[in-house]
Amino acid sequence: MANMVKVARGNRKISVFATYEQMSDFAIKKWQEISQRAVADRGFFAVALSGGKTPAGFYDKLSRSKKGLPWDKTHIFLVDERFVPFDDDQSNYRMIREHLLGSIEIPTENIHHIPTRQITPEISSKKYESYLVDFFKLKPGEMPTFDLVMLGIGEDGHTASLFPWTSELMEKRRLAISVALKRLKNRRISLTLPVINNARNVIFLVSGENKAEVIKKILEEGDRMLPAARVTPDRANLFFLMDEKAASLLSVSYKKASVRVEKS
Ligand code: 6PG
């Protein structure tokens, strides 16, 4: 993979790619490694996927990858969802189905959407929580451990459906919550930070100039008011994959201080 800068700080690994395509190829490679390891160790691979625009091209490419993807042992969950019917164009499930699920051979029982046919978003979030408790066989107080959580970052620093200056960021016990904000068109359901931070691997996919400012705030200023900066899993590999446009405001000294960890 050419034109890639790769750096490591603790368990945080930052990779900057010349193009979105290269970033997607790298993410697919990581997915292969993580899923194969999970299946070898535990017999299945549990991944939680985000919506938004950024991952669509990656999902397309992943769906066409022929090698090393154990779909029959892969369990796909959603990181977050809009409280809309599945066929609504705002639905994350619909996006993921159109770009990935519809083109791969995965058993339907391995797809764990967030139920939105309930009366309220709160009931949906509770139902999703109970799916998680059943699937991961959790005892009271335990958090699920996803093998991989794929996240995006909004221009305001939100990730999943966790937004700046909201009480949801303080959540410690719940696995999934409902989110209602005036500035959002739809109410939403989201995994919580304790769940995200309990994963074995977290990958942020970030693309575009409009993300450059927020990326700088998260990676260089560690602005804790930004939800994405609160993704600090203790034992996970935390990957920030971004294209050059998203990385364009990162300071030169920061790049110079980088440690190259892998040949590209
Ligand atoms: C969603 C998300 C959300 C998303 C960011 C980035 O459902 O919208 O899960 O957190 O990842 O808003 O979105 P873009 O990729 O569209 O910029």
Amino acid identity, position 30: K
Task: State pLDDT tens for residues 213-231.
Answer: 999 999 998 888 999 999 9
Token readout for 240 is 């920030």
Task: State pLDDT tens for residues 26-45.
Answer: 999 999 999 999 999 999 99
Q: Answer whether residue 240 shows pLDDT above 60.
A: yes
Coil, strand or helix at 170: helix
Residue to substitute in 23, 24, 50 for testing ligand 1 pocket (most ligand atoms within 8 angstroms of CB): 50
Q: Answer whether residue 137 shows pLDDT above 50.
A: yes
Task: State pLDDT tens for residues 59-110.
Answer: 999 999 988 899 999 999 999 999 999 999 999 999 999 999 999 999 999 9
pTM to 2 decimal places? 0.93
**CA 89 / ligand 1 centre spacing (Å):** 14
| Residue nearest atom 3 of ligand 1, based on CA coordinates | 160
Contact 132, 138 (CB under 8 A): yes
